Amino acid sequence: MYSVFLNSAFVYWLNSNWIWLTIAGSALVWFVASIFLYRLLFKRIYDILFSIIGMPFFFLLLVPISLAIKLGRKEDRGPVFYCGKRVGKKGKLFGMKKFRSMRINAPDIRLKDGSTFAGKNDPRVTKAGRFLRATSIDEIPQIIDIFLGNMSFIGPRPDVPDVVEKLEGEDRDLLKVRPGLTGYTQARYRNNIVYNEKVKKDCWYANNVSLFLDIKIFFMTIWTVLRRKNLHNEKTCEIDESTLDDIDVNEVLSIAETKTDTEAENIEIAENE
């Protein structure tokens, strides 16, 4: 008798609230579907659309930046663009494009944890390059990579093959998505984050991609760039400003050796291919 009463009450409650239940169910289905559709389709559509919109801005900056790079230093009139080998989605290799901010054939200096050397007095960076890096204008040519499908506006920052090859297990989750012009760790920490922690947070992003999260990262990035926050990695040792002229790999190594043992062991030098 009691069970019959409960069944009747439940049926009555369903009949009384079917409209709200339908709305709630539809909203839940739409929310779940929108997440998957954004990851699989709409994120790429947005990348194509906004990269096309951004192309005129890129070409507008191309002439003055090219002149600054070419004429900024009489002893270094190298190419306007730098194209470095990077690892993309699912391990696909591509040539990431940037406005060149370093001297020709500059060595690739990295810390022991694999993160990029980003010292305030980095002797490899040209005078024009310092401005380009501070404002992140050097990254603008990656709009081409976004249009071509090698990158996305939002995603983990791409890394070199030698570093990615060392990733194991869940750390390789960051390869589930296209690398980004900016990303979660770039927006929050820029250059001031330990590499292992950066990988963990990038993997978290790759497993939790959503439109809301990408919008949040976009505005966080603007705020970080405007504040010029975390431009330099606090773990890097300082390099004498006088070494800015005619530096080569051996000189960089000798500078590291003049530091204390603790500072010197934080630096690894790997020449670019």
> What is the residue extent of each domain of the chain?
37-270
Cα-based distances in Å from 227 to 159, 190, 194, 230: 25, 11, 21, 9
Q: Of 10, 183, 86, 241, give the one whose Cα is nearest residue 191.
A: 183
Calculate mean pLDDT across residues 3-15. 53
Angle value at C-alpha 113, between 108 and 117, nearest 5 degrees: 35
Residue 149 DSSP SS3: coil
What CA–CA distance (Å, rounded) separates 152 from 256? 36
Give the pairing type, strands 81-87 and 93-99: antiparallel
Q: By the 8 A CB rule, do 105 and 272 touch?
A: yes
Please write the tens of the pLDDT for every residue from 22-73.
666 555 555 555 667 888 889 999 999 999 999 998 999 898 888 888 776 5
pLDDT value at position 43?
A: 93
Cα-based distances in Å from 185 to 13, 81, 118, 158, 252: 48, 25, 15, 12, 28
Q: By the 8 A CB rule, do 124 and 106 touch?
A: yes
Q: Of 11, 150, 160, 135, give the one whose Cα is nearest residue 65.
A: 135
Please write the tens of the pLDDT for every residue from 141-176.
999 999 999 999 999 999 989 888 888 889 999 999
Please write the tens of the pLDDT for every residue from 80-119.
898 989 999 999 999 999 998 887 777 777 666 666 666 6
Angle value at C-alpha 176, between 204 and 196, nearest 5 degrees: 45
What CA–CA distance (Å, rounded) separates 86 from 93? 6
Q: By the 8 A CB rule, do 83 and 97 touch?
A: yes
The one-letter code for the residue type at 79 is: P
DSSP H or E stretch at residue 6? helix 2-37
Between 235 and 239, where is the model more confident? 235
Phi/psi-derived region of residue 169, left when phi > 0, alpha when psi is between -120 and 50, beta in every other case: left
Q: What is the pTM of this model?
A: 0.72
Count the neighbouring beta carbons within 10 Å of the beta carbon of residue 131.
Answer: 16
